[in-house]
Structure formats: C-alpha cells, structure tokens
C-alpha cells in the first residue's frame, strides 16, 4: 500500500543554517505530495504541495521538488530562523491521505 517514510528527528540547527528533511514515498498511481507544519499546541497547517512529477512547491522560504525517479519530496530551506521551530510532516494523497511520523526541528539563536 501507499506509505511515507520521513527522516527521524529531532533536528537541532543554529539560526541561518541550511535545512534538509528527507521524505520518500511509496505509492501506486500519481499521488499529490505535501509538507505540513505543526507549531506547539496547534493543529497541522499546509506548508507547501506539489501535484505532479518535477513540480516544485514553495512557501515562506521552504521548498520541495516532486522527484518521481527517486520517489522523494525532500524539504529544504536555505536559512532557518528560530520561528521555524516546529514539527514537520510529509504526506501524500493517494487512495487515502498518508502522513509520515513527523520531524521535530529546533532552531537555536
């Protein structure tokens, strides 16, 4: 069945460091791919999405490219800020919605 595998956390970075959070997926057909962010005590909110191969989703300095050949959708940001501290979830929309286990990011000043 469909599934999402996400990089284990937690991740701790200094402010202005480069961020990569790995995500790979298994799916039949052509799923849409998403990154969600969860700030402490809140629900999940959409960060970015891509609906077909080679699409790049971007928002708030984050970006991810839908790579069909490597079945990946890695999240990147060139310079993280303290306010980016949160839990990040990779997800796919196939026959159902599937989430990864989440990666906790802490950015220290």
Partner 1 sequence: NAGVTQTPKFQVLKTGQSMTLQCAQDMNHEYMSWYRQDPGMGLRLIHYSVGAGITDQGEVPNGYNVSRSTTEDFPLRLLSAAPSQTSVYFCASSYGMTGQSYEQYFGPGTRLTVT
Distance CA 63, CA 55 (A): 10
CB of 74 to partner 1, least distance (A): 17
- Selected from 12, 14, 83, 97, the binder of partner 1 by CB under 8 A is 97
Distance CA 96, CA 92 (A): 8
Q: Could you tell me which residues come within 8 angstroms of residue 16 by beta carbon, excluding any fewer than 6 positions away? A: 79, 80, 81
- Selected from 7, 74, 77, 102, the binder of partner 1 by CB under 8 A is 102
- Selected from 7, 75, 94, 105, the binder of partner 1 by CB under 8 A is 94
Distance CA 74, CA 22 (A): 5
Does residue 60 come out as left (phi exceeding 0), alpha (psi in the -120 to 50 range) or beta? left
CB of 79 to partner 1, least distance (A): 26
List the x/- string, 51-90, binding to partner 1 by CB under 8 A. x-------------------------------------x-
**Applying CB under 8 A, does 5 fall inside the site for partner 1?**
no
* Beta bridge mates, 67: 72
Site for partner 1, rule CB under 8 A: 6, 29, 31-32, 34, 36, 42-46, 49, 51, 89, 93-97, 99-102
């Amino acid at each position: 069945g469909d599934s999402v595998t996400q990089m284990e956390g937690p991740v701790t970075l200094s402010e202005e460091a480069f961020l990569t959070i790995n995500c790979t997926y298994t799916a039949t057909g052509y799923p849409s791919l998403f990154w969600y962010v969860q700030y402490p005590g809140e629900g999940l909110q959409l960060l970015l999405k891509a609906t077909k191969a080679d699409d790049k989703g971007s928002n708030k300095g984050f970006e991810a490219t839908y790579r069909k050949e490597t079945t990946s959708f890695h999240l990147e940001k060139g310079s993280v800020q303290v306010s980016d501290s949160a839990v990040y979830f990779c997800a796919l929309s196939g026959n159902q919605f599937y989430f990864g286990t989440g990666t906790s990011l802490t950015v220290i000043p």
